[in-house]
Structure 1
């Protein structure tokens, strides 16, 4: 095993089989301190904080992924291939695009459309449609129903661009895409290639077309429904 890696200082066995991955490392710290018991810091290389602890007696890890598909691509690849992680659940923020998507809504990304060339590395003769793990998605839906958390499920868009002025978003919305974020496509492709499991659960932090938005403090600390759903799904 090639551990530690250039990006993760953890030793073999430091990570649980399931890792929750917010983009923001400070959100990983928040989850470890507020949701996990006996959490231990296992990575802080480049400030990308990672912790392993227990949730209701089940061993769980949480680590930041950074922003964008290149960063998610690196960390999820290393976790899948070098640390024997079996499941990664991305938890993060997304910009709403669908007309029925509101602030603080929880969205399950069943498929991850993209404007990225991340999949070019596989040399495929066509266009792959990256999707989450089906059993994990079903488990998340069942868990959400049990917890009384309303969720929307469908296609999301993983974009390489944050400051694009909303160009082309109307076309994605018209094709039924619910929200836009920046990491799920790379995560799903890495999981598919490694024969592992992945799911993206996002909370709507702003809306592309209405202009509504939550503050940065709200984004970091107020997504308890999403965090609870991810944790319960992970141990379910």
Structure 2
């Protein structure tokens, strides 16, 4: 049994949807049939249910790369094969608006966890191509705008760096705190991994933060995006 996710092989499905926020994990689990909780340890809520008859798990990662990396390592030990992060992000590119969706083709690792695993600064792991294609296909059914491109993963939520210009010039769409670490660990463990994020603000613009009601409404679309990808994945 893993140290943090207190589950046994067989408790977790081959495909898992990842949420940083345990509250969002509960919402995703609520969209599954017959979901049951397999982990509450350390607040890393985990559930397994079914979507159209297919077993699907939902696992909380917590905030940031260190926690997410632990979770991915332990999910790999439990037999998970495919991971899809359903998270939130802040827009960097001018073309990306609050409450849009961003599907990651890759994530720049401007975080310590990705650097620890890769031994490189700004290592940029790609999302799995099949997972990304499934997310893009599912996104076509959403009413909100969907963008596909690079995320940048960093450690700090507050006191943002003065480097947004360089990321914008490099074509990065948005910033978040887990994707690069998830992709990097997944690559090392032979797992498929992808990510889709709801844009909840613009960087360095606290006034742009979406309201709780708006985020709750748009989160339903994020969940539909993830489950739509599950339907399309073999």
Q: Which residue of 2 aligns with 1:25?
A: 22
2:157 to 153, 159, 162: 162
Alignment of 1:74-93 (within 5 A): 74-80=70-76, 82-93=77-88
1:197 to 171, 192, 199: 192
**Unpaired stretches in structure 2, ≥5 consecutive residues:** none
Q: 1:129 to 1:163 in 2, by over 3 A?
A: same
Shift of 1:124: 5.0
Shift of 1:123: 6.2
Shift of 1:202: 0.1
Q: 1:127 to 1:48 in 2, by over 3 A?
A: closer
TM-score calculated relative to the size of structure 1: 0.91
Q: Distance in 2 between matches of 1:47 and 1:122?
A: 25
Say which SS state the counterpart of residue 69 (structure 2) adopts. Answer: helix
Say which SS state the counterpart of residue 151 (structure 2) adopts. Answer: strand
TM-score calculated relative to the size of structure 2: 0.91
RMSD of aligned residue pairs (Cα, Å) = 1.9
Q: 1:125 to 1:110 in 2, by over 3 A?
A: closer
Q: Distance in 1 between matches of 2:161 and 2:115?
A: 25
Tell me the alpha carbon deviations over residues 192-218 of structure 1, each in whole angstroms, 9 at most, x when there is no partner. 111110001000001115541123465
2:34 to 38, 43, 51: 38
Shift of 1:114: 2.4
Q: Distance in 1 between matches of 2:214 and 2:177?
A: 19
Shift of 1:129: 2.5
Q: Which residue of 2 aligns with 1:60?
A: 56
Bigger mean CA deviation after superposition, 91-100 or 143-152: 143-152
1:70 to 66, 75, 90: 66
Tell whether the 8 Å contact from 1:24 to 1:65 is kept in structure 2 after alignment.
yes
Shift of 1:147: 4.8
Tell whether the 8 Å contact from 1:41 to 1:49 is kept in structure 2 after alignment.
yes
Q: Distance in 2 between matches of 1:169 and 1:52?
A: 38
Pairing 1:49–2:61 present: no
Tell whether the 8 Å contact from 1:27 to 1:220 is kept in structure 2 after alignment.
no
Tell whether the 8 Å contact from 1:166 to 1:208 is kept in structure 2 after alignment.
no
Q: Which residue of 2 aligns with 1:110?
A: 105
Shift of 1:113: 0.7
Tell whether the 8 Å contact from 1:32 to 1:51 is kept in structure 2 after alignment.
yes
- Number of equivalences: 231
